[in-house]
Each structure stands twice: as C-alpha cells, then as structure tokens.
Amino acid sequence: MTEAAPKKEQRRKFQAIRGTRDLLPPDTALWNHVEETAHAVFNTFGFGEIRPPIFEPTELFARAVGANTDVVSKEMYKLHGDLESFRDRAIGESNRPRTPQQLNMSVVMFVVFVGALKQALDSQELTADAESLRTIEKLTSLVREGHKRWQASQPTGWGTEWPEFFAECQRLAIQISIESQSLRPEATASVCRAYIEHNMQQLPQPQKLYYIGPMFRRERPQKGRYRQFYQIGAEVLENVKPDPMRDTAKELAKDAITDAEVIQMVMTFFDRLKLPGVQLEINSIGHAAENCRRGYVALLKSELEKVKDKLGADSQRRIETNPLRILDSKLEHEQPIIATLPKIADHLCDDCKTHYAAVKRELELRGVFYKENWRLVRGLDYYMRTTFEITAQGLGSQNAVCGGGRYDGLVELLGGPPTKGIGFAIGEDRLILSLQEAKDQSLVTSHQPPFVYVAWMGANAYAAAVHAAKDLRAAGIRVELPPVEQKFGKALERASKLGAQYALILGDNEVAEGTWTLKTLADGTQQKFTEPHLLDFLKKL
Ligand code: HAM
C-alpha cells in the first residue's frame, strides 16, 4: 500500500538553519585553494595537521576558554544538555522565595530531574561510577519520599522540614557528575586535550600542529559572522621540564622567537594569498600575578568603579566579571572614558616587559609590520603575554580575520604537564569574503570546465566513448561523457555551453573505420586521428 502524498501545505521546504550556509561551486574552488595554500605554507614552517573531533565534553571548553566568557556562557551548542538544565531548574526553583506554588514546582522539578536521570542511565546516555550511582539512588528515594509526603499533605507553607529536605536534595544533586557535550566553539582546547591524551610531551618538542575545520557559536548572524564557521588554526606546544638552573632571560628570548615565528607564518600565508589590507595589531596582557596583570586589573577595576554610571549595562556587569574585556568595547560613548584608563604596558612585571620588547624586536627582524594596541585583550580567558589580531579589507564591522596569543599553563589547567603554548585561528569565511571583495581574478580559481566533451552516437560508439573517457580521466584530463545519445549539432552546442575546449566526435562509423574526429570548439577546426594517436595527442596537451 502506498502512502498518500502529503497535502501541498504540509510539504515543508527545508532551508539551511539560520547562521549556517552551503558552500557551493565555484566558491568552493577558492576554499580549496586557500586550504591547499595553508597546507603548503604551514608545512614549510614544520607544522603537521591534527583533526580533532567536533564535539567534546562541555567542561573542556568551560575550563579552557573560561566559564564567564561569552563564547562559553552564551554561545555554545550543548548536545543533550537536558539533564543539566533539569538540575539547574530544580536547584533554582528550590532556592526561590517560599510560596506554596514554588514549593509545588520545586518538588515537581526534582521528580523530573530524577526521572530524567533514570532514563539517561537506562539508555546509557549517562555513565556513572559506583559512587555517583549511590548518590543517584539516595537522591531518587529521597525525592520519591518527599513527593509522597507532599501529595499526602499538600502543604500550604514551607514549615521547617521542607527547607531541610531541599537542602539535602540540592547537596546530592550537585554531587552527581553529569557530563554534557558541546559542539566545539574553537579548537585550542581540543588540541591541548589531544596533546595530553597522546602524551605528546614525550615526542620531540615543541609540537607544531595545525587544523582546518568547522566551529560552532550561537552568535547573531551577520556579514562575516556565522553560527557554523570555519577556522584555520595552528598551535605550538612545548613541555617545560623542571630545571633548577633555568636561565629566565634565555627562556624569554626563546618564547619571543616562537611568538614571532608563529605570527610570521600567518602573515606569510596571507601574503601568499594576496589578502588585501592586512593589518597586524599586537599587545601584551602580562601574566596572572599580583605584580603584573592581577595588580593591573585591580587598579582598572577601581578606576572603572569611579566612572561606572557613565558605562553601558554590559560594561557595568563586566566590572565584576571581566574588567579587561571593557577595553574591547565598541560603544561610541564609552570610547573617551576608556581612553583615560590606565594602560597595561605601564604595569607589566619585568619578565613580561622583557618578553614583549623581544617579540617586537623579533617581528622587526623578520620584516613583519605591526601596530601596538594596548586595548587588545581578546575574549578567551587562557591568554597571557602576547595577544594579536589581524584585520583585512572589505569585511565591514566583523573585520578580524585572525586572532591568537600565548597561553602558557593551559595544558596544565586541563590536567596535563607544565606546557607553554602559542597559536592563532583564522576565520576562513572572512578570509574568503575579503579575497572575493578584492575581486583579484588571478586568485579566484573558478570551477574548471571540462576539457573534452565526448559526443557519441550509436551503441558501438557508446562503448568506445566509455573506454576513451576512462583512459583520459586516468591521465588527469577533465572529461564530460553525456549519459544520453545526442545529435551531433546538439552535442556541440552543449559542449560550448559547458565551456569545453574540445569535442571528441564518435559515431558508429568512426568506430568501425578506426578514425576519430577531434573538434576544437573555439575555431571549429577538426582533426582526424586513429584512437591511440588521439589519446596520446590529448594527453600531451
Ligand atoms: P577567536 O578570536 O575567538 O580565537 O576566533 C578566531 C577567528 O575566528 C576570529 O578572528 C574570526 O576571524 C573567526 N570567527 C570567530 N567567530 C566567528 C563567527 N561567528 N563567524 C565567522 N568567523 C568567526 C579563537 O578561536 C582562538 N582559539 C584562537 C587561538 C588559537 N588562540 C590561540 N590559539
């Protein structure tokens, strides 16, 4: 029995989800060209490719990028995060002011949470160790008991027993480790995770790795800003061996060279692509110590408190959560205020100052032009010392085509050995946009038309055409073999339309005689060849 066709209004026209898009020919040829150039340039700097998975534990990104950053707190795509949100709701409800309705809701939310836990365990979506299992059991029986009590008495107030009950439920709920997973918003955290997982500190140091692939952030889509976007990134990771004789001056000089090499690599890549209007900005944000960034942030905070009333809501909130990010503000009315704030360069410790001066020297030595920007702090928590951003032409407000910096200590923060790190990520979508805006035709490698169009007619000719196409394609020639017989006039018309250079004319007569005709489409001239000669002739072109 066949199913009835859906009514017209039920037939949904599917479209790519907002913030995602299809990359199509001929544009994909430019994407491939960009990626091939990245492979080639990064190779000359000794980098090897890594392909991490596109989803990882949410906790990895929260710890690496920072739980308070926009990227983690607002923009991550969590996969089956229901358990966590049920738990958050249950805890949130049972913390609220105490009306009978809220009491009711709190009981219900804990019932929902333990129900969801059971379901996730049954379907093996959640795995729990013995201790977690015991905690889940305890919480489940406590919630069941509380639910029964609530059903029996339908309380009109919280009395004394309910706060105790919920405090115990919350205590147990927090103890259960629920591992949600997220689509990666960036890949530095994944590369560090892989470095630890594969004991890369035992391989020759530093490890120089690069990646190309999609990232996911729930941002407001606009030109140059997508929810699925692509990055081309690179990371240099170097294990730090304990050495009581460590020569700090030498270390700082070596790190500065690595920073300059990494920046030089991305600039070389942009240069090779002839990316228009490239501008590199650099800064040092010091390291997390009282006599360096921490001291500066405390000073910044106190200065910001004085002008709090003049700041926008976002910046006011950031005075508490992340005052450095206020320097990044694009709000017009905040600009004159920010201009008067203390500058980090005046508050760096001696080592960070030495390192920053060496980075600038090393860039100059390599002929890499830069501009210093004391407000360049970047939106991810893991940076220290060097930060940099590169802008390009034709991108409007989203003009940062690359961002990066140093992140010593991140691998350790993720449970690995003491390790230094520096890297960058290029927004490939923006890079392509900028190249396309520049309309440099030599660069925009378009989808290539067929070289030979095989115009065949007749059953014998068809078999010969199939063999000829196979032979020519094996020699790397682009061949179009039409799947239907066409009159020669029609076939030539189609060959011209596709932009082919030659039409190979094969009728049953030609095949019987063993002489094949090759027509040059641009001038209409024809040449006759025997089959082996013709294939040789084409292969040599
Ligand atoms: P990021 O600055 O967050 O850094 O991103 C790097 C680049 O990715 C940006 O400069 C931009 O070109 C591009 N990008 C970011 N979000 C979007 C979006 N929604 N749509 C289109 N392009 C976007 C990082 O991701 C760090 N992991 C870079 C890094 C590597 N630092 C050290 N190592």
Compute the half-sphere exposure of residue 518: CA atoms within 13 Å on the CB side of its CA.
Answer: 19
* pTM (2 d.p.): 0.86
d(CA 378, ligand 1 centre) in Å: 10
d(CA 215, ligand 1 centre) in Å: 9
Residue 233, ligand 1, Cβ within 6 A: yes
Residue nearest to atom 11 of ligand 1 (CA): 427
d(CA 233, ligand 1 centre) in Å: 9
d(CA 493, ligand 1 centre) in Å: 47
User: Distance between CA 135 and CA 128 in Å, rounded?
Assistant: 10
Residue from 21, 190, 229 to probe ligand 1 pocket by mutation (most atoms less than 8 Å from CB): 229
DSSP element (H, E) containing 16: none
Residue 402, ligand 1, Cβ within 6 A: yes
Count how many residues are written for the chain. 541
Do the Cβ atoms of 323 and 338 come closer than 8 Å? no
User: How many other C-beta atoms are found inside a 10 Å radius of the C-beta of residue 170?
Assistant: 18
d(CA 400, ligand 1 centre) in Å: 8
Residue nearest to atom 7 of ligand 1 (CA): 427
Q: What pLDDT is recorded for position 1?
A: 46
Residue 401, ligand 1, Cβ within 6 A: yes
Atom of ligand 1 nearest to the CA of 189: 27
Residue from 207, 217, 430 to probe ligand 1 pocket by mutation (most atoms less than 8 Å from CB): 430
Q: What pLDDT is recorded for position 6?
A: 59
d(CA 185, ligand 1 centre) in Å: 9
User: Distance between CA 9 and CA 11 in Å, rounded?
Assistant: 6
Instruction: List CB contacts of 525: < 8 A, sequence separation 6 or more.
Output: 519
Ranges of the chain with pLDDT below 50: 1
Residue 405, ligand 1, Cβ within 6 A: yes
User: Distance between CA 130 and CA 135 in Å, rounded?
Assistant: 9
User: Distance between CA 129 and CA 193 in Å, rounded?
Assistant: 22
Q: What pLDDT is recorded for position 393?
A: 93
d(CA 402, ligand 1 centre) in Å: 6
d(CA 74, ligand 1 centre) in Å: 16
Atom of ligand 1 nearest to the CA of 404: 31
